[in-house]
Structure 1
Amino acid sequence: MKFFKFIILITIVIIFFNCNTDKKKNDQKSSTQQLNQTSTLHQKKKVEKKVIKRWDSLNKNNVEAFFTEFGKQNKENKVIIKTRFGNIKLRLYDDVPIHRANFIFLTKIKYFNTTEIYRVAKNFVIQGGNSDETYTIKQRRLYGNYLLAPEFKSHRKHKYGALAAAREWDNNPNKLSNPFEFYIVHSRNGAHHLNNEHTVFGEVISGFDTMDKISKVKVGVDEWPEEDIRMTIEILD
């Protein structure tokens, strides 16, 4: 009888141990699944974040969406143009978000560092953002030569020192901006006939003396300086 009770007791212990073991395995499996799900979620977020940050994802079909998101992640609004004549500091306007984000984007990928100030129209504008270099042409083609919708603001005028986007006038009824080329108004009286024709997206905050020096260079009939005016553009803190 004692031996039979002992067998029953051993059986109960074994059953209890097996149940606990199964419970632990299930708990571990559930915990592992939760960890895997969490890890997968984090990985998805990382991938999504990476896609947003990938600069080579820009193309002519997603311009507004790309720069809207890029602008949220890159809020800088001050840059400096460096030339052999001196520096020009610019402040970009936050209320023209697509143009601001585009300029910051091109600055960060160092597009402008392959370009030059290619037009000096005396007592009118100083224009830059292009060159004859193959690298410059390739960079423009890389993104499909996209265009920017205008962001006209009634209070953003072509005053002295205004920064605006260049654009084609022919076959461009929607006044779409060329994202790669810009100009700065050098006329003390401004260039107000261009209001609501070109998007003004910033202004000079220092370096007017540099502009004066650049305006005095010799230019050809096409207003292209006889000697190249190379430039680099950097983000200011």
Structure 2
Amino acid sequence: MKALLSVLLLFLFFISCEDKQKTSEEKVEVLKETVKDTVAKEEVVKEEKPQTAHYPEITNENVVSFLTEYGKENPETKVKISTRFGDIFIELYKDTPLHRANFIYLVKQKYFDNTFFHRVVPDFIIQAGNSDTKATPMKRKKLGFSYLLPAELENGRKHTRGTVSGAKEYRENPDKQTAPYEFFIFLGPDKYTSHLNGNYTIFGRVTQGMDVVDTISKLPQDDGEWPLQNVFITAEIVE
């Protein structure tokens, strides 16, 4: 009788343990599913897209009128360029109104985001605004594929460490017009400015982050002065 009672008690003990184990396992599975759902929801975050529908495509015929009006409505002069090496803060000059307005326009339309510092020359310049991705020519086509900016050289500025200038189309460009989508930051000493001064519009200067510029300028590059590892940038208005 005692032996039978012992067997019964042992049987009930095992059933109780098994039920507790199942309950514990069910809780773990629920917790795992909850974590999985949370991660999935966090990943479904749509990137904010610029609103460009109400702006016309910029052409050489309307570039002056468009940027003049846009500049009046968008007076900002300070921009932050972010890279994995740190941030570069730029102040834009008001006496180069077309270049300032164009730069602000491109920043607000998210053009520069996910483009690169695509040319680096130690102790000379780093140049940004291009990439080898399909997105960049698509952005240019949407905003205005072939327009150029009239030169704004009347202020007589000279290239010094930290100046920001527009890149220039070399081919058939006697008027020294600026290619609107690319800019460069000058690092080098004054002896390297003879072919720059009076030929490239200076429309801003770096106010903070020249240590970042120096770091980028010294990155390993290929024969075309393109960094071996892409230096992605994003740009935003500061004020």
What is the TM-score with the length of structure 1 in the denominator?
0.75
How many Å apart are 1:157 and its aligned residue? 1.2
- Contact conserved, 1:60 with 1:144, CA < 8 A, in 2? no
The residue type equivalent to 1:132 in the other structure is D
The alignment's C-alpha RMSD in Å is 1.5
How many Å apart are 1:144 and its aligned residue? 3.0
The residue type equivalent to 1:172 in the other structure is N
How many Å apart are 1:145 and its aligned residue? 1.9
- Contact conserved, 2:156 with 2:198, CA < 8 A, in 1? no
In the alignment, the residues of structure 2 paired with residue 69 and residue 165 of structure 1 have an alpha-carbon distance, to the nearest angstrom, of 20
In the alignment, the residues of structure 1 paired with residue 101 and residue 198 of structure 2 have an alpha-carbon distance, to the nearest angstrom, of 20
Find the counterpart in structure 1 of residue 163 from structure 2. 162
Which consecutive residues of structure 1, in runs of 5 or more, have no partner in the other structure?
1-52
How many Å apart are 1:154 and its aligned residue? 4.0
> Are positions 1:106 and 2:109 aligned together?
no
Higher Rg? 1
- Which structure has more helix as a fraction of its residues? 1
In the alignment, the residues of structure 2 paired with residue 183 and residue 108 of structure 1 have an alpha-carbon distance, to the nearest angstrom, of 19
Secondary structure, counterpart of 1:113 in structure 2: coil
Secondary structure, counterpart of 1:138 in structure 2: helix
CA distances 1:47-105 after superposition (whole Å, capped 9, x unpaired)? xxxxxx93234333200000000000000000011000001000000000000000000
Counting only pairs closer than 5 Å after superposition, residues 64-103 of structure 1 correspond to structure 2 as 64-103=64-103
Q: 1:208 to 1:55 in 2, by over 3 A?
A: same
CA distances 1:145-190 after superposition (whole Å, capped 9, x unpaired)? 2100100034421111000000122211111100000000011437
Secondary structure, counterpart of 1:231 in structure 2: strand
Secondary structure, counterpart of 1:120 in structure 2: strand
Question: Out of 187, 196, 203, which is 1:201 matched to?
Answer: 203
How many Å apart are 1:191 and its aligned residue? 4.1
Secondary structure, counterpart of 1:126 in structure 2: strand
Counting only pairs closer than 5 Å after superposition, residues 176-187 of structure 1 correspond to structure 2 as 176-187=177-188
Find the counterpart in structure 2 of residue 4 from structure 1. none
Number of equivalences: 185
Which consecutive residues of structure 2, in runs of 5 or more, have no partner in the other structure?
1-52
Find the counterpart in structure 2 of residue 153 from structure 1. 154
What is the TM-score with the length of structure 2 in the denominator?
0.74
Question: Out of 217, 220, 239, which is 1:218 matched to?
Answer: 220
Secondary structure, counterpart of 1:129 in structure 2: strand
User: Sequence identity, in percent?
Assistant: 43
The residue type equivalent to 1:236 in the other structure is V
- Contact conserved, 1:76 with 1:104, CA < 8 A, in 2? yes
